[in-house]
Amino acid sequence: MFSICYCRRLYLNGNWLTTLPDTFGKLQWLEIARLMNNVIVGTLPASLGNMTRLRFLSLARNQVRALCNSLPQLCTMDSSVFDFRQFFGTIPNSLQNLTAIEMLYLNQNYLSGTVPAFLAGNRTLAMPSLKQLFIHKNFLGDESDGACSERYCAP
């Protein structure tokens, strides 16, 4: 399916895609991937970490259940949209390796636990480029005051 080697932008919105094959990571020139409004289920392929030029990734309104471990290898990403899905579990500490990210949308999922210190505290050290963080409408709390994640919806 993905045999186009030098594709820089990929728009596959609303195509009823159910999976992302591991070969998706062979799109090493890809900069923008808009994959929202599909029915992608399961986890993201580990080969996603090979896409070092990827700057924008949107998987909004899919059924992806977990962030892949290779996501933090995408240090060049400046925007990522993961809203309206069904991510479960905690926010992984490895996200702090996305040092170039400017916008991070993790809202409207089933994330639980506490908001990691690198997102709740002084973000200038761990994620210096982060300007907008959206993690509202989850099941998150804050270690210091037990506040719900509604307070984390803007920079």
Residues in the chain: 155
The pLDDT score that the predictor gives to residue 14 is 93
- Domain 9-151 indexed as CATH 3.80.10.10: yes
Give the separation between CA 155 and CA 143, rounded to whole angstroms.
19
pLDDT, tens digit, 9 for 90 and up, residues 95-138: 887 778 888 888 888 888 988 888 876 666 678 888 888 888 88
Question: For residue 42, what is the enclosing H or E element?
Answer: strand 41-43
Highest-scoring range by mean pLDDT, 81-95, 108-122, 135-149: 108-122
Strand order across the 110-114 sheet: 88-89, 110-114, 139-141
Q: What is the DSSP string of 65-103?
A: EE--TTGGG-TT--EEE--SS--EEPPPGGGGG-TT--E
